[in-house]
Amino acid sequence: FRNVPSGRGSQWSVRNRVTNGWVDHSVQQVMKIIGDAHQELGTSVSTEPVYVRVQSPWCVDMQVVDLPGFRDFNHDHTRQHLASDIERMNESFMADPRNVMLCVEQAGDSATMATLSRCRKVDPYFRRTILIRNKLDKFYKDLTCDNVSKWVDGFGDLPSELVRFALTLPWWPEDTDCPGDFA
């Protein structure tokens, strides 16, 4: 993410893997490029990143590395091998003390937070771990103005020193254009 105060809107670019030059694309094209890169890998992972840049007068300057999620349940050899590769790659990023970890866990029982447990192993005091509770929509019928913060806080089950928040992303129907700039 790059803050460009003189920009008139969000500008999305992808670094060409051959030329290393930045090429502007629409959000839909960027999503397709990322999806195609995932499909190319099949049942493997790669340490070669796909670089995406978003420039906007509303962005902060920040670099984000989106890593694949851990795979805890694997029934065949191919998936077990993929899980091991993902674990090695993720743990190499997690071990670097310069990296802040955005730990994404589904809302619900904090006892099942396997990724947070992995973060705790390399960051026992949560000095560089931020918990993001997602999928609160599963609990919309249970959420009220009075208890939504308790859901984010894990009803008291989460360590008090752990920074956390809930995140709701924009949504629009598939096969339709993005309704407007959101970056």
Q: Characterize 115-140 residue by residue with b for buried, 16 or more Cβ atoms within 10 angstroms of its Cβ, and e for exposed.
A: bbebbbebbeebebbebebeebeeee
Q: Is the pLDDT of residue 166 over 90?
A: no
User: Rounded to whole angstroms, how far apart are CA atoms 38 and 51?
Assistant: 13
Mean pLDDT of 58-72: 87
Confidence of residue 160 (pLDDT cuts 50, 70, 90): confident
Mean of the per-residue pLDDT values of the chain = 85
pLDDT at residue number 155:
73
Closest by CA to 142, choosing from 151, 153, 132, is 151
| pLDDT per position as a tens digit, 147-159 | 877 777 777 777 7
Confirm if 106 and 135 have CB atoms less than 8 A apart: yes
| pLDDT per position as a tens digit, 39-60 | 998 888 888 889 999 999 999 9
CA distances from 27 to 10, 40, 84, 94, 178 (A): 9, 20, 32, 29, 8
pLDDT at residue number 183:
54
Mean pLDDT of 15-30: 95
Confidence of residue 179 (pLDDT cuts 50, 70, 90): confident
User: Rounded to whole angstroms, how far apart are CA atoms 67 and 54?
Assistant: 18
